[in-house]
Structure 1
Amino acid sequence: MTTDWSQERILVLAPHPDDETLGCGGLMSKAKAAGAEVFVQFMTVGDTADQSPKGFSTAEERYAEIKKVADHFRWDDWHMALPGDEYHLRLDAVPRVDLTRIIEATSPLSVARLRPTTVIAPHRTSYNQDHQVTAEAVHTALRPSDRALRHHPRLVLAYEEAADQWRLEHAPSPNLIVELSEKEMGDKLLGMELYGSQSHRHPHTRSDLTLRSLAVLRGMQAGVALGEGFHVLRCLA
């Protein structure tokens, strides 16, 4: 499978700010360099207890980080669907139909309004409840139907994150590897560094070494130096 990224309009679904960079930062760099359009739909953000030196990050800090990352990757646009502590890490309390409607039709970056050619979302096997329900809502929003009535993205992928492997029954190995250059790998690492409240030293699932190690592993599996792994959910040739 060879994709001409220059012809793609890509919609990335991220439960929280940084998931898009962890999951497909290299692909976003590659696609933008080729001439693609890249849009990021965040689902939620709020004040967060974390493992940073001060022990927490505010929503305002996270928004400032998003703006830096958006400039770095040259996104065409981004949107936050459900901001606030009412939703952050509590998306599993939101009715599935409401999440699905946001992704399918009501968001400014919805599938119906944006009409992306490629959609990239988290994988269902993540341990994080926000990731799980986002993945399920995307699955529902992109259900098969008459293409004359509803937009069908040609390519639908699920990205992986290193922390997702912390499950007894985790996903099988990705069945699509996107080769990354050293520059694209560097863009991914810098994007994660710009999320200062979420970036950590090794050993941590969001450390530079973890991200590079996963890229080395996925690249090796495809016979190249570096790669990002994805699960193909739909591909219309």
Structure 2
Amino acid sequence: MTIDWSQHRILIFAPHPDDETLGCGGLMNRAKAAGAEVYVQFMTVGDTADVSPRGFSTANERYAEIKEVADHFRWDGWDIAFPGDEYHLKLDALPRFELANAVERNSPVSIAAIEPTVVIAPHRTSYNQDHQVTAEAVHTALRPSDNRKRHHPAAVLAYEEAADQWRYGPAESPGLMVELDEADMEAKLAGMRLYGTQIHEHPHTRSEPTLRSLAVLRGMQAGVALAEGFHTMRLLA
């Protein structure tokens, strides 16, 4: 199956700044090069503990990184639904109603506002609580209903991150592989480098060798050199 990305309007949900690049950096570059529209809804951002000498990165530093990454990937729009330390890494304390409404209609880049043809969210199996509730909020917002009354994207996908592979039992492999060329891979790595507070040296789940290794693995499984893997929740042909 070949997807003509030029015909699509893509909305990606990222619990935190960098998740969209980790999971979809190659696809974003490929789709934008074809002429697609790409929007990113960040759920939250705040001061973040890290392993730097200072021990944390500030929300302002992360805002600056978002702006650079947005220019790099040429996004058509982005927004942060719940900014601030009172929400960052605490989204599981919010009522599902509030999260689902932000995703569905209460944001400038909500599903109702953008009417995307493709929605991509994190996978529910992540160990991170913000990822889990973001995935569930998107699932709720895209519940089955009359598509004459509520927008129904034709494709609803979940992206993967290397950290998601750390779980009990066998990991379910993604069923949809998006082929990347070397330019897509390099754009993904360059985007991650712009998240200077978040990228790490190897071995780490957010290192360049990890990102390339996962792309090589998914490419091998699809019979190509490089790919990103996605789980399908809905795919209307």
1:181 aligned partner: 181
User: For the Cα contact (< 8 Å) 1:123–1:135, is it kept in 2?
Assistant: yes
1:27: Cα distance to partner? 0.1
Paired with 1:91 and 1:161, the residues of 2 have a C-alpha distance of 19
Unaligned ranges ≥5, structure 2 = none
1:159 and 2:159 are equivalent in the alignment:
yes
1:29 aligned partner: 29
1:168 aligned partner: 168
1:171: Cα distance to partner? 4.5
User: Comparing 45-54 with 156-165, which one deviates more in the overlay?
Assistant: 45-54
The 1:112–1:170 alpha-carbon spacing in structure 2 relative to 1, beyond 3 Å, is farther
The 1:110–1:171 alpha-carbon spacing in structure 2 relative to 1, beyond 3 Å, is farther
Unaligned ranges ≥5, structure 1 = none
RMSD: 0.8
> How many percent identity over aligned positions?
76
Paired with 1:190 and 1:223, the residues of 2 have a C-alpha distance of 25
1:42 and 2:42 are equivalent in the alignment:
yes
SS in structure 1 at match of 2:105: helix
1:61: Cα distance to partner? 0.1
1:141 aligned partner: 141
Q: Letter of the aligned partner of 1:124 in structure 2?
A: R
1:108 aligned partner: 108
Q: Letter of the aligned partner of 1:136 in structure 2?
A: E
Q: Letter of the aligned partner of 1:207 in structure 2?
A: S
1:169: Cα distance to partner? 4.2
Paired with 1:140 and 1:130, the residues of 2 have a C-alpha distance of 15
User: What are the superposed Cα offsets for residues 139-162 of structure 1, whole Å, 9 maximum, x if unpaired?
Assistant: 000000000110000011000000
Q: Letter of the aligned partner of 2:130 in structure 1?
A: D
Paired with 1:86 and 1:6, the residues of 2 have a C-alpha distance of 39
1:54: Cα distance to partner? 2.8
Paired with 1:40 and 1:90, the residues of 2 have a C-alpha distance of 20
TM-score by length of 2: 0.99
2:73 aligned partner: 73
SS in structure 1 at match of 2:147: coil
2:207 aligned partner: 207
Q: Letter of the aligned partner of 1:120 in structure 2?
A: I
Paired with 1:189 and 1:151, the residues of 2 have a C-alpha distance of 33
1:124 and 2:103 are equivalent in the alignment:
no
Paired with 1:175 and 1:152, the residues of 2 have a C-alpha distance of 21
Q: Letter of the aligned partner of 1:31 in structure 2?
A: A
The 1:98–1:109 alpha-carbon spacing in structure 2 relative to 1, beyond 3 Å, is same
1:53: Cα distance to partner? 3.8
TM-score by length of 1: 0.99
1:55 aligned partner: 55
